[in-house]
Structure 1
Amino acid sequence: MITVVIATRLREDRLGYLEAMHASLTRQSVPWEAVIAIDGADPKLLPAPLAGDPRVRTLVLPRQVGAACARNLALNDVRTRYVNWADDDDEFTDDAMAVRLHTLEATGVGWCAGYSQDLHPEGTTTLWRCPTPPGRHEAGDVWTYWKSPSDTIPIGPTTLLARTDLVRAAPMGGLVQGEDYMAAVGVTSLAPGILLRLPVYRYRKHPGQMTRQDAYDVLEPQARRHAWNYGRSLRATLCGRETRDAAGVV
């Protein structure tokens, strides 16, 4: 029923994290499979627990194409009704798949999400509540909780379990960062969904994460503005309205 799509460059400092992500999947109580998009790396570096798991399939890309492209190409290999994005250095809570799958099957909505937790190096967690309130949201409503591009994004992209057809219609955006913001506002603009009041994903804090790199802040404001405008324009188009971008330009 569920495929988890993960892009990785199999960097040595992240292999242990990738194993932890896989271990969190093995603790799920519902059937799943994973597609690992290996972004220009030697597939022989894939940790043994993943290489030996028949539920894990790989897409080996001959050169580095970036996370957005790698994830989108991996969508071609998804063969289940639902899909969930994930990063190679994070992990899921133990009931993440079951509780969201049950909600999707019971209600017929297109997506189901939850809160996330920051996972600190010492193993402690801090809950992050997204600006979108818990409960049912109609198509396009999630974007309205992203008041301006500089604000916190309205929902956690990796907390979304969504119908595969919706994810293919609103995949990762073509950006070097912030591509997942576009995926989140895209999916939630195309179908109604439900946000649960419980954590389903753990976002690992460590020195090697992208948001800790020196160059991250250089493009982040533009990436956020692009994703914000995308969400606003998509919502307006589906509602048949003209709109303006974050700078007031039609």
Structure 2
Amino acid sequence: MHASLTRQSVPWEAVIAVDGADPARLPAPLAADPRVRTVAVPRSVGAACARNLALNDVRTPYVNWADDDDLFTDDAMSARLGTLEATGVGWCAGWSEDLHRDGSTTLWRCPAPPGRHEAGDVWTYWKSPADTIPIGPTTLLARTDLVRAAPMGGLVQGEDYCAAVGVTCLAPGILLPLTVYRYRKHAGQMTQAPAYDQLEAAAREHAWHYGRSLRAAVRHGEHRRG
């Protein structure tokens, strides 16, 4: 992840949540990079809580969630940032690829189509909780205030589903037909854990209902103001 950030052509900062581990274990290239800051969580609290605590330290106007074992494409930040600045929308996303151990990739086209989406429209492409999520959470570059209003959900897994539908329900955005994120497939992924499937259906259902309810609440508020 850090190596892919160093290849970006626009300025960036990284806030790393060290979830219950010794911050001294941070790899030397990251520790030596002044653009990298850490938030040491004294005990392991899980991905959702650790990420939300790290969000407290974000100083940039836009933010992108990312996992330490994945990577951004070289033009991921410049393409989305340019779109955000040119259009004034709240978020910009792209496609993602699975990166396999042999170096090959498999493109994942999310259910939401490329183009502009008004607030709440992305959720409509998530037809049922059992279906795949409508947009890739880690492909979203969004205004920091939106991410703080719709951060990681309070789940032990699937917390990023809530973040994705939350941000896209609160503001219009644009999905680019461009790969911006590579999801590295390996045996140590949380999704490969033996107990992962035990809660996946419930996590998806929770995030699906959250998106539906948030979309309805935002649209009701707009209707009353109108």
TM-score, normalising length from structure 2?
A: 0.97
Unmatched tracts of structure 2, length 5 or more: 222-226
* Structure 2 residue 221 is the aligned partner of structure 1 residue 234: no
The offset of 1:44, in angstroms, is 1.1
Q: 2:132 aligns with which of 146, 152, 159?
A: 152
The sequence identity of aligned pairs, in percent, is 83
Match of 2:174 in 1: 194
Aligned counterparts of 1:98 and 1:81: Cα–Cα separation in 2: 14
- SS of residue matched to 1:235: helix
Match of 2:195 in 1: 215
* Structure 2 residue 55 is the aligned partner of structure 1 residue 84: no
Aligned counterparts of 1:121 and 1:61: Cα–Cα separation in 2: 31
1:1-250 → structure 2 map (5 Å cutoff): 21-240=1-220
Match of 2:224 in 1: none
Deviations 1:130-154 (A, max 9, x none): 0000000000000000000000000
The offset of 1:238, in angstroms, is 1.1
Aligned counterparts of 1:45 and 1:122: Cα–Cα separation in 2: 28
Higher relative contact order (CA 8 A, sep 6+): 2
Aligned counterparts of 2:213 and 2:41: Cα–Cα separation in 1: 33
The offset of 1:239, in angstroms, is 1.5
- SS of residue matched to 1:238: helix
Give me the CA root mean square deviation.
0.7
Aligned counterparts of 2:106 and 2:70: Cα–Cα separation in 1: 14
The offset of 1:68, in angstroms, is 0.3
TM-score, normalising length from structure 1?
A: 0.88
Aligned counterparts of 2:214 and 2:166: Cα–Cα separation in 1: 8
The offset of 1:240, in angstroms, is 1.7
User: Counterpart of 1:220 in structure 2: which amino acid?
Assistant: E
Deviations 1:36-85 (A, max 9, x none): 01000011111000000000000011100111000001111011100000
User: Counterpart of 2:48 in structure 1: which amino acid?
Assistant: A
The offset of 1:88, in angstroms, is 1.1
Unmatched tracts of structure 1, length 5 or more: 1-20, 242-250
Match of 1:10 in 2: none
Deviations 1:177-206 (A, max 9, x none): 000000000000000000000100000100
Aligned counterparts of 2:167 and 2:135: Cα–Cα separation in 1: 11
- SS of residue matched to 1:77: coil
Deviations 1:90-132 (A, max 9, x none): 0000000000000000000000000000000011111100000
Aligned counterparts of 2:54 and 2:25: Cα–Cα separation in 1: 19
- SS of residue matched to 1:181: helix
Structure 1 segments of 4 or more deviating over 3 A?
Answer: none
